[in-house]
Every structure is written in C-alpha cells, then in structure tokens.
Structure 1
Amino acid sequence: MAQRVITQLVSDLSGDEIADGKGESIEFSYRGASYSIDLTDKEAAGFDKAIALYLEHATKTGGRRRSTSAGSKSDYSAKDVRVWAKAQGIDVPERGRIPGEILEQYKSSK
C-alpha cells in the first residue's frame, strides 16, 4: 500500500493556507528569546513594515558578517604575527586564532 503525505503551510497569524511560494517563515529575536512565524506574503510585508522603524535605529549584533569599512584586508597577516611572536619569545599557537593580547602587542610594536 502506498502513502502520500502532504504538508500544508498555514499562517500562524490568520490561519490561512499558504500556497507554494506565497508565504515565508520569519525568524527573529526579542528580549533574548528566538521566534519563528509562518506568514503569507501580505502578512510578511506588514511585519517588515511594522519593524522597519525599529531596525532603522537599532544596532545589528549578529547575522551575516559585514566587510571592513574600506573593504580591505587587515594590516597584518597571521603568519607575520606568529613569526614576530616567536622572535619575541611569546608562545603562540601554530594554527587557529591568535589570542587578542598577542595581536595587540604585535600592533603596538609597529
């Protein structure tokens, strides 16, 4: 016997069925709690409009990384920092992230 399972997305706000491609799930955080809500395209547009004023004045603390203001690489390479640290007798990991205090010492030496 064959079975067919059909999943229907329903708006959490109105209870309306969301046709394929006519809605979205929106994830957001508020006061330390994370939320997800399924909305029709029209409801999602209303959500975007309602939150736009707050987003305009808020400071982004997570999400996708932004490039540096000049769009350039940092003024040092990890290899250079490791070579410098070893020459100074500072124990530095061979791989991975370089501790901030070592970076600061390197920057101040230049």
Structure 2
Amino acid sequence: MAEKLIRQLIDDLDGKPIDDGFGDRIEFSYQGTDYVIDLRATNAEKFDAAVKPFVEAAAKVSGKRGKKAQAASPQATSGSGRSKETLQAIRDWAGKNGYEVAPRGRIKAEIIDAFDAAH
C-alpha cells in the first residue's frame, strides 16, 4: 500500500492555501512578544506596507535572536524587562489593592497580570 502525504501551508490571515514558493513566513516582535505568521504574497505585501513607516522611524536593536533585545536606555530594567520604577509602581498598586507583595524580589505573575489589566 502506498501513501502520499501533502503538506499545504495556509495563510494565517485569510485561511487561503499558499502555493509553493508564493508565501512568506514573517517573524516579528511587538511589545516584548515574538510572533510568526504565514502569509500569501499579497498579504505579505500588505503587512510590509503597513509596518514600513514604523520600521523606518524605529531604532534598530541588536542582540541575539530569540532573546529579548533591549535598546540602550537610561532606565535599568529587571529580568522581566520592566524598569525599577515600574516594578515599584506595581508593588505600590498591589499593596493598595489587597495583594501581598514583598518589598524586594520577584513579583508573582498574577499580580503583574492584575496590574496590567487595571492599567
């Protein structure tokens, strides 16, 4: 018995099939989160046109792929990528809103998520 497997890429935006050689896998980051999207050529062109003015105005950040690259900034940041000032604001907000949070050290993810949702 013979079996033939066919792999068909589908455009993540409109759900249409992507013909071999006529699509793009686009990787990008936005607000600290990495994304990947498969697009047919026409949708890839629309994506490029939409982000072009932002890319042209932005400063390029160097760093290893897959790790959070950070632009040079006067504010020091923690392992979470948030500035010390922001972490202090989260601690202050958490204390005022009934959360138990230590004055130093790691802040629980659910507290940060609640802070983000409130702001």
The interval holding the TM-score normalised by the smaller chain is: 0.5 to 0.7
Letter matched to residue 51 of structure 2: I
2:50 — aligned with what?
A: 50
| Larger CA Rg, structure 1 vs 2 | 1
**Distance in 1 of aligned mates of 2:45 and 2:27:** 14
Runs of 4+ in 1 over 3 A off after TM superposition: none
Shift of residue 5, structure 1, vs aligned partner: 1.0
Number of equivalences: 64
CA deviation digits over 1:1-52, x for unaligned, max 9? 2221111000000000010111111000001110000001000000000000
**Distance change (3 Å), C-alpha of 1:63 and 1:25:** farther
Residue aligned with 2:13, SS: coil
Segments of structure 1 that go 5 or more residues without pairing to the other structure are 65-110
Q: Deviations over 1:35-87 (max 9, x none)?
A: 000001000000000000000110111379xxxxxxxxxxxxxxxxxxxxxxx
RMSD of Structure 2 on Structure 1 (CA): 1.6
What SS does the aligned partner of 1:35 have?
Answer: strand
Structure 1 residues 20 and 36 mapped into 2: Cα distance closer, same or farther (>3 Å)?
same
The structure showing larger relative contact order (alpha-carbon pairs under 8 Å, at least 6 residues apart) is 1
Query: 2:11 matched to which residue of 1?
Result: 11
Match of 1:25 in 2: 25
1:35 maps to a residue whose letter is: Y
Percent of residue pairs identical:
47
Hey, what's the Cα distance between the residues in 1 that align with 2:47 and 2:39?
9
Q: Distance in 2 between matches of 1:18 and 1:11?
A: 6
TM-score, normalisation: structure 1 = 0.55
- Structure 2 CA distance for aligned equivalents of residues 45 and 35 of structure 1: 17
Q: State the alpha-carbon separation in 2 of the partners of residues 38 and 50 from structure 1.
A: 16
